[in-house]
Structure 1
Amino acid sequence: MTTDPRWIDEHGHEIDEDHRGLVYDIRTLVDRRRALGLFGGVGVTALLAACSSPESDPTASAVPTATPTATPSPSPSASAAASGPLDEVPDETGGPYPGDGSNGVNVLDDSGIVRSDIRSSFGSSSTVAAGVPLTIALTVRDAATGSALVGAGVYLWHCDRDGNYSLYSRGVEGENYLRGVQETDSAGTVRFTSIYPACYSGRWPHIHFEVYSDVANAVASGPIVKTSQLALPGEVNDLVYATSGYEQSVRNLAQTSLARDNVFGDDGGIHQIASMSGSVAGGYTAALTIGV
């Protein structure tokens, strides 16, 4: 009789009956975490092997103990090789303040826009945006294959601690801080040094980005491969907004939710919620892998 393929492990061995329930649970967990993009350093194969291998110690814990911390930001040495298909990040609006020439001002052709530290304005102003430090790490992959998109151009922007967008909002029209372009590295990753954005009225805390085929197309306002947004998780929002300077964000956040947000509300931002690490005192890292 042919063995049900659900009970065959990664080595081709039949999993004994005592371990089948655990394997089913782990594979269910794997599927869910794949959908949410939450796996960090623990490999899927290793996780399954730990509970299904005939040679494993039956008295040992079958599942590695997970710590309640967020997935760390992508490693610079991460492989660019195909990792298998992943869900494409949803297309979202660039909003009314893109600064890419589609709604008035165009900052993309300004000298100085290609940079990793976006906290300060460049050109005629050197104003530095204040706020809790935030590193934003985006890893761009081909949704069909999982391969890292090396050399892609990423333009990223967001509001400041007061909920204002440089170039557009009253009082900061002459600033261009919290905007920048970078090229993805050999792992398909870009990292921006920034500050934690506010929660302004009517929107869940978020960060905008556009993906281009390369930096040359980005700074020339060429064809956009993907326009989307990153959502910041509620538990970290609460911690950051309890600090000085973010007082109005506390009120605004209390009046909205991911489910009611006009961008993330359709699916609760399942493919756009960043994995977080760090602290208020030391700064946070928001990491997200996106399929395009």
Structure 2
Amino acid sequence: MTEQQSNDLDPQPQRDMTRRRAVMAGGAAVAAVGLGTAVATTASAGETSATPSASASSSSGEVCYRLTSETTEGPYYIDADKIRKDITEDKEGIPLTLRLKVIDSESCKPLAKVAVDIWHCDALGIYSGYEDSSAGGGTPPTGTPPTGTPTGTPPTDTPTGAPTGAPPGGGHQEPTDDERYLRGTQLTDRHGVVEFTTIFPGWYRGRCVHIHTKVHVGGTMTDAGYEGGHTCHTGQLFFAEEAVLASAEVAPYNTSTTERTTLDEDGIYPGNGAQGGLLNLKYRKGKIEKGVLGSLTLGVDPDATHDGTDL
């Protein structure tokens, strides 16, 4: 499917407007990464986050927003058949702990035992299952500096202008190989939380750094994976420019020869902060290679169907 920005869609317009709210995950991170001065980022230079609006339906003191933004699933989705927490499969990169909480956007109550599916490229922009077709960046010859690798300190050196290239599209593609690294599915606990162990994604031509995600409800866990039910949310998780610039100084990201699209240039990120999937990130300043904690609360309508093909 062609990846493209979309507006929130509500197939049941008769539902109360409180159904079109989501939760900001300002307090979702529960642990600091490493010691020393920590950096917490949620937006790139020049961006503004949505203004919070308290919901009377929230009994837990959380702040409610509109539904988390929907996007297309992209061409590299593979059905949820890897039920696991650690999806790295020894792939090299900056350690990333991804903590997601799923709530009902009307009541703000956590959704337990729903399946959260994530997948993303490796440090050089390659997707498992599609190694021959995904557009990653290789290692430049010895002594040749990588082209397109971001340098400097934001916001003064943040690239501007229209993105070059285009995101991969043309609808869903069938896998070209049997690799399944950096893909996984888990059921939320009674607090609506899942936590994945992975690596900080790299980038590929036409797209900013991101992670794909789906939330499935009403199905069952089997030996073959999660089956049945329906997909109530298909979205993407995004990374603040400051963190991406820091990652680009670390191997193997600094060997990429692929021109990078920034968050502001990306054609899919809706530019609306946490509602649009912008992660809260914590890492040690100047030591991002030690690890990153990313967190977000996803507000979904469990009765809706958003499988990424309706946009």
TM-score range, shorter chain: 0.5 to 0.7
Shift of 1:260: 2.3
User: What CA distance in whole angstroms lies between the structure 2 residues aligned with 1:114 and 1:38?
Assistant: 25
The residue number in structure 1 matching 2:206 is 202
Question: Is the 8 Å Cα contact of residues 86 and 145 (structure 1) preserved in structure 2?
Answer: no
Question: Is the 8 Å Cα contact of residues 22 and 299 (structure 2) preserved in structure 1?
Answer: no
The residue number in structure 2 matching 1:244 is 251
1:40 aligned onto 2:48:
no
For structure 2, the 5+ residue unaligned runs are 1-20, 29-36, 43-57, 134-175, 301-311
User: What CA distance in whole angstroms lies between the structure 2 residues aligned with 1:174 and 1:114?
Assistant: 16
Among candidates 110, 114, 117, match of residue 148 of structure 1: 110
User: What CA distance in whole angstroms lies between the structure 2 residues aligned with 1:215 and 1:208?
Assistant: 20
1:220 aligned onto 2:227:
yes
User: What CA distance in whole angstroms lies between the structure 1 residues aligned with 2:59 and 2:119?
Assistant: 25
User: What CA distance in whole angstroms lies between the structure 1 residues aligned with 2:178 and 2:22?
Assistant: 41
The residue number in structure 1 matching 2:40 is 70
Structure 2 residue matching 1:116: 3-state secondary structure: coil
AA aligned opposite 1:131: G
The residue number in structure 2 matching 1:192 is 196
Question: Is the 8 Å Cα contact of residues 219 and 226 (structure 2) preserved in structure 1?
Answer: yes
Shift of 1:211: 0.2
- Specify which structure has the higher proportion of strand: 2
Alignment deviations for residues 66-117 of structure 1 (CA, whole Å, 9 cap, x no partner): x974289xxxxxx9958464321111111100012xxxxxxx34xxx11100
Shift of 1:223: 1.4
Which protein has greater RCO, CA pairs closer than 8 Å, 6+ apart? 2
Distance 1:84 1:234, change over 3 A: closer
For structure 1, the 5+ residue unaligned runs are 1-33, 42-66, 73-78, 101-107, 121-127
User: What CA distance in whole angstroms lies between the structure 2 residues aligned with 1:151 and 1:129?
Assistant: 28
Distance 1:39 1:196, change over 3 A: closer
The residue number in structure 2 matching 1:283 is 291
Alignment deviations for residues 231-284 of structure 1 (CA, whole Å, 9 cap, x no partner): 01111111111011112558533xx232321111x4355521100112324210
Among candidates 116, 119, 144, match of residue 88 of structure 2: 119
Shift of 1:215: 5.9
User: What CA distance in whole angstroms lies between the structure 1 residues aligned with 2:268 and 2:41?
Assistant: 24
Which piece of structure 1 moves more, 266-275 or 206-215? 266-275
AA aligned opposite 1:224: T
1:263 aligned onto 2:271:
no
User: What CA distance in whole angstroms lies between the structure 1 residues aligned with 2:185 and 2:299?
Assistant: 19
Distance 1:250 1:86, change over 3 A: farther
Distance 1:237 1:81, change over 3 A: same
Shift of 1:176: 0.5
Distance 1:227 1:38, change over 3 A: closer
User: What CA distance in whole angstroms lies between the structure 2 residues aligned with 1:196 and 1:212?
Assistant: 24
User: What CA distance in whole angstroms lies between the structure 1 residues aligned with 2:91 and 2:252?
Assistant: 12
Alignment deviations for residues 188-244 of structure 1 (CA, whole Å, 9 cap, x no partner): 111000011101110010000100115627722641110000001111111111011
Question: Is the 8 Å Cα contact of residues 140 and 188 (structure 1) preserved in structure 2?
Answer: yes
Shift of 1:129: 1.1
What TM-score, normalized to structure 2?
0.60
Superposition pairs of residues 4-153 of structure 1, within 5 angstroms: 37=24, 39-40=26-27, 69-70=39-40, 83=62, 85-100=64-79, 108-109=80-81, 113-120=82-89, 128-153=90-115
Distance 1:81 1:153, change over 3 A: farther
What TM-score, normalized to structure 1?
0.63
Alignment deviations for residues 36-84 of structure 1 (CA, whole Å, 9 cap, x no partner): 926328xxxxxxxxxxxxxxxxxxxxxxxxx974289xxxxxx995846
Superposition pairs of residues 148-187 of structure 1, within 5 angstroms: 148-170=110-132, 173-187=177-191
Which structure has the greater CA radius of gyration? 1
Distance 1:183 1:215, change over 3 A: farther
Structure 2 residue matching 1:278: 3-state secondary structure: strand
- Specify which structure has the higher proportion of helix: 1
